[in-house]
Structure 1
């Protein structure tokens, strides 16, 4: 069985486009491979070591190196989180390992005012609240009411006390200029990284969706940056590999504003950022962002940029 050939049967245009991005057979092999289950221990509900000891009676755990000691791979694939009492009580949050990177890079502090612009279903929001020790305020926004209801349920289960849930187009927050200490924009995207969870993302992918999302992402990133305080930190992230949704969006922000990029230093393997795609050249500054392909760390594909607003 050749994974690349299997993907050609599902969506040949997907293979055609991303073979230009990553020529390795590993890319398609890992994209075809099931995702490793991973969880985050929720210290808002208990002591990390006590919860870890409970889990180790049921599972073999492997610490995720880029978290702050609370993220773990579970070394088996047949986990039904809904049946675990630890999940029902909010002691653990099922969360894909690379999805834990943006809040780590954001590095929120207790007492800060944070905007999570596209928050549902809320795993990153709960991680932010955990790092803030439930002190401060998070505006957890989503554009869709049904997704916001899921967000509320997950925040409640996790014991998050500092979040105000709003249902707005994310660009709405651009009117609150220089307001938030930190902003997370985990942007809606074409979700190539999520193919490892469900092949429907491969079947429904199209170049049209890529360009639709890029236009939306550019609108959101400008509003997010406007809402950020001088001296504040913003993280832009997606769970896709397309440069039009990743490097091009960050390059667009650099061209339109005084935004600066900071290098991200975490113990993970990376693929070099794309500085030229489809005849477009991006700023050399974009090399400071992080591009993760599925084979790099055996995770979802992900993209993360750390952006600062000068004082």
Structure 2
């Protein structure tokens, strides 16, 4: 462990330094957050997994085991999230019809948490790294998010294009990651003051752009997973000095503890979490933008599906969807009007329904995973754990049924789709989402049907 880092921590929390050091030898805190878009928390099918309720967020519980291969995780019924990280989104006070920007979004824990709170509103989530953006997209699809746009952009151009547009903005800033020492050993190995100062400079640049995108009266939440004062309280003080229109308000959180005393800001209004508080390292601050300046983002014209696409939708789901957009041969849909991003790079906007291929329509995995499609599917089959495991490895499974495209479900929850010939289902799980040969669906206890 870096001696300079330890000396800084001892100065920061002298009375709790021994407890902090002891916490580094303890297991990483783990929690799951139930996806309320797919399941009622009171009817969560595996209550035996849930430990103590987390103090950081609703519908979140501590867990004591890895659950990435749990069948309900694969179906998108829950997200595995470090407990204290889940406390950030509550500060945004997201309303169901808000337009929200998550400016540094991957891998998606807070992004999908925001999406759970939206109904008629929309989420724009941005990730500057293209590879991480794809990981984020995978999580958005698994959790069934519908009203979203995923952009792959520098924060400056994106925020300039949507000046004064967003009701809520989250800056979960890239940081030195001191709070993730137990999860990522490289954090300790590469720790340096130079890196901390570099991160602080980058954080100020991102926040400057975020302020521009926030409308008057809107809420901005700034968070990191580091202990470094230079990236936390000192950034808050800099924001208040640089942007007089930004007011620091009390987080209103019952968890964690106040921040460190810092000139230019009220440390009692921000929140810190140390491992002694029941979670890994986290910092958060909440701002309100004074004034009433606001803009309405430009929208794309709503497009109608073609005859082949309409026939597919009538065959597959009950009821209608509201908004559609075509990009080349692909069809997308949402329950919010599509935004016009101009020349900005958009990885995905809305649910990918599928695409036209040689005058036929080939549906997409995302269509069957969408939370508002799940209960409206006309054509679906149910399989047990062994069949689910085989299917997640790319194999065909034998299930009798009507020929055609079908949602493939476990316990009534879709985890993919296939094409049935009446006896067997041809596997349509995207190759990148299939399990590796030595990975298997968790099968504790008897097989569930």
Tell me, yes or no, whether TM beats 0.5.
Answer: yes
TM-score with structure 2 length normalisation? 0.62
Question: Does the 8 A contact of 2:236 with 2:265 survive in 1?
Answer: no
Cα shift at 1:60: 4.3
**Structure 1 SS opposite 2:231:** coil
State which of 38, 41, 60 in structure 2 corresponds to 1:71.
60
Larger mean CA deviation between 186-195 and 169-178 belongs to: 169-178
Is the counterpart of residue 44 in structure 1 residue 28 in structure 2?
no
Question: Does the 8 A contact of 2:256 with 2:272 survive in 1?
Answer: no
1:304 match: 284
Question: Does the 8 A contact of 2:50 with 2:61 survive in 1?
Answer: no
Alignment of 1:175-194 (within 5 A): 175=160, 176-194=162-180
Is the counterpart of residue 285 in structure 1 residue 266 in structure 2?
yes
Question: Does the 8 A contact of 1:193 with 1:300 survive in 2?
Answer: yes
Which 5+ residue runs of structure 1 have no aligned equivalent? 1-9, 277-281
TM-score with structure 1 length normalisation? 0.89
Is the counterpart of residue 173 in structure 1 residue 158 in structure 2?
yes
Moved over 6 A (4+): none
Q: Which whole-Å CA distance do the structure 1 matches of 2:274 and 2:24 have between them?
A: 9
**Structure 1 SS opposite 2:191:** coil
- Give deviations 1:160-207, integer Å, cap 9, x for gaps: 011100011223333132110000000000001111223222112211
Alignment of 1:130-169 (within 5 A): 130-133=116-119, 135-169=120-154
Question: Does the 8 A contact of 1:121 with 1:147 survive in 2?
Answer: yes
Which 5+ residue runs of structure 2 have no aligned equivalent? 292-449
Q: Which whole-Å CA distance do the structure 1 matches of 2:69 and 2:267 have between them?
A: 43
**Structure 1 SS opposite 2:156:** helix
Higher helix share: 1
2:94 match: 108
Structure possessing the higher relative contact order (Cα contacts under 8 Å, 6 or more residues apart): 1
Question: Does the 8 A contact of 1:173 with 1:224 survive in 2?
Answer: no
**Structure 2 SS opposite 1:151:** helix
State which of 19, 24, 29 in structure 2 corresponds to 1:31.
24
**Structure 2 SS opposite 1:18:** helix
1:5 match: none
- Give deviations 1:81-112, integer Å, cap 9, x for gaps: 22200110000100011111111111111121
**Structure 2 SS opposite 1:244:** helix
Q: Which whole-Å CA distance do the structure 2 matches of 1:292 and 1:80 have between them?
A: 23
**Structure 2 SS opposite 1:106:** coil
Is the counterpart of residue 238 in structure 1 residue 224 in structure 2?
yes
- Alpha-carbon RMSD: 1.4
Shift in alpha-carbon separation, 1:46–1:60, aligned structure 2, 3 A: closer
Question: Does the 8 A contact of 2:159 with 2:209 survive in 1?
Answer: yes
Q: Which whole-Å CA distance do the structure 2 matches of 1:102 and 1:235 have between them?
A: 8
Shift in alpha-carbon separation, 1:92–1:256, aligned structure 2, 3 A: same
Alignment of 1:113-128 (within 5 A): 113-128=99-114
Question: Does the 8 A contact of 1:34 with 1:197 survive in 2?
Answer: no
Q: Which whole-Å CA distance do the structure 2 matches of 1:236 and 1:120 have between them?
A: 15
Larger radius of gyration: 2
